[in-house]
Structure 1
């Protein structure tokens, strides 16, 4: 029987029911899901509980309760699960169509949202097919910085290898693109553009659907519904901003990402990964020339070609942030990620450098590392090739001075971040290069620009010796992707192979790359803060690993006194709400 019929058939019971509804909702001060029965005209209430709700409904109910005087703004903010905001910010599968769909596999839901389209196997194909008006899902063994343009062109990304902090996962979250990673059930044949999954062979052009929230993979097309942000979203976010202590920045490498993050409430950039900029049009060739150079002069000549482009990138970021802080991390990945793999590209590089194809291949082979994540990367590149740090410093400082000249009212103070420091002497060496270069640029321009040089804390030794590093650094930023990897001794790209067994054996309750390990990694963070602030009270400290957008991790960051969290653009509202809830819980 429908409620409307109840009023006709049992008017007394219906009248009593509406009174009870009012009593229960006033008592619990929340929307109720009630069960009742009517026997012989008499009402019997069986049970009541807070009702389940969609994210949009949760926002509306919270606002209505405040408007009706039943809840304070603080209580309204505290009653919303931040994780549910994902559904407001990303496309979702049509609920009706999803009910009749059966997943063919499940892997890691690495970046939320839903996507469907035709399968492509290369970044170039993704771009070409998109140009033809086709929707594609990029399927790769794993992605690298070279795949950025193809990832941008795709509706979703599916990888065989990788975890929650793999390249595909991190970049997809930054772009707001759906991603499922670590699907080891796929038998991949990239050379012939096909793979086998759940007993079926998939070829280029076949259709597939993926859910980046659940990690489920479906055969064929499941229609998606675009994300919609209701008016209540703005009200709740404004209330959250009233109560939170933590600032919320974003991880962004492009003006587009930065602008999206600003729209979603970001208060600066906590991490700009400069390596992604090297893959733009006309840049990768020059950078490859630098890698294959035999002398400092040759390297400087190649880097000089990149300098104006890098400067232009930074100017666009400063413009997008309108005076909010921008932290630029200097080059981090190992050089082998930038070298060509295609024979035509190798021949082109050989001709440019006046070398044989064999000589170029020997250089490429020499860059191979057995454990590249712990190899020749981060500050080690700047120590070996200081000319890279010089070029990036010039680009940062020149860009900042130009934008400040156009916007004198903006408080532009570049934050230059040196990655992968493990010893204070590394920071001293690289910082000396940065300061000498920056000061010369500022003096030559007759500018009064101020800047800061800080470091990422992502090696356990850096946390343990933070009292030494804190004397040299203006700021710390915890790179918890690497800090987690090095503290546990897990490869973040391979941990997905055994983590499921860890959950089943109750060793772990959650993925330490998705939710911060407070007992181990968190203890190192707390130690680094105490040691660093002990020698440098003005040290400002943040986090820019993916944990910066996880509500439980944000709560921990608030508890240990970080100044800000930084996360991918589409997780900014989640971090804002989580930061407010953390502050409210500590009142």
Structure 2
């Protein structure tokens, strides 16, 4: 196709009034225009639009005479990328375009042969590798010398069969063409798409006059920022290199000096006090007018300051929060803007210790990042070993093929958990998030050998006792110890969430199973407990034995007798929960899991149980086999136990009511919420409700005290959602257990789906893992149907979700716009949900527009 010269409108000198826009010229060009408008000393710069760069990639040639004519004669130039978003990357900058034999001679006469040769050699190496695309090894960096320069020019001519170009306009044309085509290449497209860029994202380029920081000893280049990027603390950081050029010169130059007065060596503040003072002023201006903490790249030329570029500081999570709050407190931005600047998911990182991003990582294993945080400890493979480590005061990382309720105590004792199997809603993931425990599930390529007490990672063989670090935020197991950052629930964190609470319009509760969980939830300002899984209270040693006696009882009377011993323990738990929550609502789910989960699974465990119950081993084995089910998650559990073994629910209801009365006697009124799990039919609710109402009447008579309670259901089956109108007739509330509802809607095991889910997502079968992100199309439609049908017969029906989806921003958006009253999530996700709910209130309502409001 024939080439054409680009119209002058396709590129513009950056002035305060030039038609430069983010969507047409990119972030760097727009930022430079803002710096010009702030009257900062920016070298002359020309911006090429996205359209111009696309035309260059297609073969058009810029009007280089006019473009170069905008600069002083002999001016060396740089070209840098300017995508719409700096995170999308782009080709590397090319410096000193226009360097040739004649310019080498001129600079040598002014500044010496060594300076000129270093500049020319560096340009030849960069041009050969990034523009001519020659073998990098042939043009790798060497100590600058006249001989090295001659060799580089000779090698270039030999490879290209043409001398190194001497015409600055030709050099510039080739640089522009190379960078434009690099952006349009397939590999570049895939890379930026992985960074979140649209496939057709445009690239702008900026051509800027080089400030001669290579000149005298009073010249140089540097980078400065005014906060610590990791902590957000006000602090001047950066380096300055005399007679240097570019960011690489600053970071790689061992002769680079500090910016402020420092005992360790000379500083910019001492050598160029006026330029340093100007930088401080410029930083303050940028913060106020650009409304962000900026990092400034600058050059000093014979003592005079030039600002080459500025970009937003790359914040860590804690730095982002501190900066947003600081800017709002100083009136630079509003509180609403501060809330919108912080990603909700970054809050989760601050609730736990984290691996210091500045350190090195030796990754042994990668898996699914199921629960954030980091910990270092000795590797162990059993819950017993984890408890033994804890008793010795030693930190440990528990590695299991997969965890079960039997591992609860080991998980409590461990500092982190890794499982060979599982997904985002597997047992280990759910409990890990609830405990605030770093957790990796579905570890790729891992094989655990329990007999040998070893873990094969494919690259390294780990044995019990080896020191490792688990990073649940990234899903990586690291070798040995690494530097960790402490949790950062500081004043900025608290302030931001207070602002969020003042704005959000949906309540946030916590899933809390024990008094310890409740204290954590209360500390995170949860609006109550949305799910208390009472079965987790039965795994303590003293309770587990009694529970097993109940399971092995032959008659209803014997079962009731065993449960009577559990009654005071349950009552005590509920009293403590009510007291901790201080009058906030507490939703207690009645017993849910199949009974076999409370029985040992090994012959050794069976033998101990036989001794404890004074039964023959054969009898214990037979009973255990009788309780075993082919598909226990769809078997005798939840409300089905309440119907067939009613003594369990009767004991729990009595414990709740007696705890309610005792708490009220202390001056704290409580209205407990009792939730029936796994319902699928109206009659199930009628049967359980009748028994609970009878227990309530009995307790009122026995204690001579009135009390209130609310009875509702947990919707976990598709049938319950579809028959919500019938079920709602006997329910004060419906709480959707989206973990099981997703499992049953998809026909997927939430414990096993992690083995292949990544392939399904990559193949486009599902847009996201439905156990991680709520499926608003399928599962979401069931929620909407149930909500509409339930409220059609009961206008005041309380609606909520209490599955693991409750803490994700996407799920909160869905629930908020479907008219739900609250979401409930793991205690450590409560801050995430509070911020996400506030952001939705402020205006993030894209998904809401497509959904009916059922309020």
- TM-score (normalised: structure 1): 0.94
Could you say which residue in structure 2 is the equivalent of 1:358?
618
Deviations 1:517-556 (A, max 9, x none): 1122122112211111111111111111111111222222
Q: Distance in 1 between matches of 2:564 and 2:497?
A: 44
Could you say which residue in structure 1 is the equivalent of 2:560?
300
Q: Distance in 2 between matches of 1:9 and 1:523?
A: 68
In the alignment, structure 1 residue 94 sits paired with structure 2 residue 356: yes
Q: Equivalent of 2:331, from 66, 69, 94?
A: 69
Q: Distance in 2 between matches of 1:45 and 1:458?
A: 60
Could you say which residue in structure 1 is the equivalent of 2:598?
338
Are the aligned partners of 1:291 and 1:299 in contact in 2 as well (CA < 8 Å)? yes
Q: Equivalent of 1:526, from 784, 789, 793?
A: 784
Could you say which residue in structure 1 is the equivalent of 2:853?
none
Q: Flag the structure with larger Rg.
A: 2
Question: How far did residue 563 of structure 1 move?
Answer: 1.1
Question: How far did residue 16 of structure 1 move?
Answer: 7.2
Q: Distance in 1 between matches of 2:703 and 2:544?
A: 29
In the alignment, structure 1 residue 492 sits paired with structure 2 residue 750: yes
In the alignment, structure 1 residue 538 sits paired with structure 2 residue 800: no
Could you say which residue in structure 1 is the equivalent of 2:518?
258
**Aligned partner of residue 824 in structure 2, secondary structure:** strand
**Aligned partner of residue 455 in structure 1, secondary structure:** strand
The equivalences for 1:331-480 within 5 A come to 331-351=591-611, 353=613, 355-407=615-667, 410-480=668-738
Deviations 1:1-36 (A, max 9, x none): 345477788888778766765565444422234555
Are the aligned partners of 2:801 and 2:823 in contact in 1 as well (CA < 8 Å)? yes
Deviations 1:180-230 (A, max 9, x none): 111252222223322222243322212222111111112323343321322
Q: Distance in 2 between matches of 1:200 and 1:60?
A: 40
Q: Distance in 2 between matches of 1:500 and 1:168?
A: 19
Q: Equivalent of 2:439, from 179, 187, 194?
A: 179
In the alignment, structure 1 residue 135 sits paired with structure 2 residue 399: no
Q: Distance in 2 between matches of 1:481 and 1:40?
A: 66
Question: How far did residue 417 of structure 1 move?
Answer: 0.4
Deviations 1:296-333 (A, max 9, x none): 11211111111111111111111111111111101111
Change (3 A) 1:9 1:132: closer
Which range moved further: 373-382 or 44-53? 44-53
Could you say which residue in structure 1 is the equivalent of 2:808?
550
Are the aligned partners of 1:116 and 1:223 in contact in 2 as well (CA < 8 Å)? no
Q: Distance in 2 between matches of 1:132 and 1:434?
A: 45
User: Aligned-pair RMSD on alpha carbons?
Assistant: 2.3
Q: Distance in 2 between matches of 1:181 and 1:345?
A: 26
Could you say which residue in structure 1 is the equivalent of 2:527?
267
| Structure with larger RCO (C-alpha < 8 A, sep 6+) | 1
Deviations 1:375-414 (A, max 9, x none): 211111111101111011111111111111112xx33001
Are the aligned partners of 2:643 and 2:684 in contact in 1 as well (CA < 8 Å)? yes
Q: Distance in 1 between matches of 2:282 and 2:671?
A: 60
Could you say which residue in structure 2 is the equivalent of 1:52?
314
Could you say which residue in structure 1 is the equivalent of 2:408?
148
Change (3 A) 1:22 1:144: same
Q: Equivalent of 2:291, from 23, 29, 51?
A: 29
In the alignment, structure 1 residue 517 sits paired with structure 2 residue 517: no
The equivalences for 1:75-114 within 5 A come to 75-97=337-359, 99=360, 101-114=361-374
Are the aligned partners of 1:347 and 1:357 in contact in 2 as well (CA < 8 Å)? yes
Are the aligned partners of 2:375 and 2:415 in contact in 1 as well (CA < 8 Å)? yes
Could you say which residue in structure 1 is the equivalent of 2:849?
none
Q: Distance in 2 between matches of 1:391 and 1:253?
A: 18
Question: How far did residue 68 of structure 1 move?
Answer: 2.2
Q: Distance in 2 between matches of 1:58 and 1:501?
A: 34
**Aligned partner of residue 680 in structure 2, secondary structure:** coil
What stretches of structure 2 of length at least 5 have no aligned partner?
A: 1-220, 225-258, 260-266, 846-855
Which range moved further: 430-439 or 169-178? 430-439
Deviations 1:468-513 (A, max 9, x none): 1111110111111111111122110011111111232233343221
**Aligned partner of residue 157 in structure 1, secondary structure:** strand
Change (3 A) 1:42 1:459: farther
Are the aligned partners of 2:365 and 2:446 in contact in 1 as well (CA < 8 Å)? no
Q: Distance in 2 between matches of 1:371 and 1:347?
A: 25
Q: Distance in 1 between matches of 2:766 and 2:301?
A: 50
Change (3 A) 1:43 1:460: farther
**Aligned partner of residue 729 in structure 2, secondary structure:** coil
Q: Distance in 1 between matches of 2:621 and 2:813?
A: 49
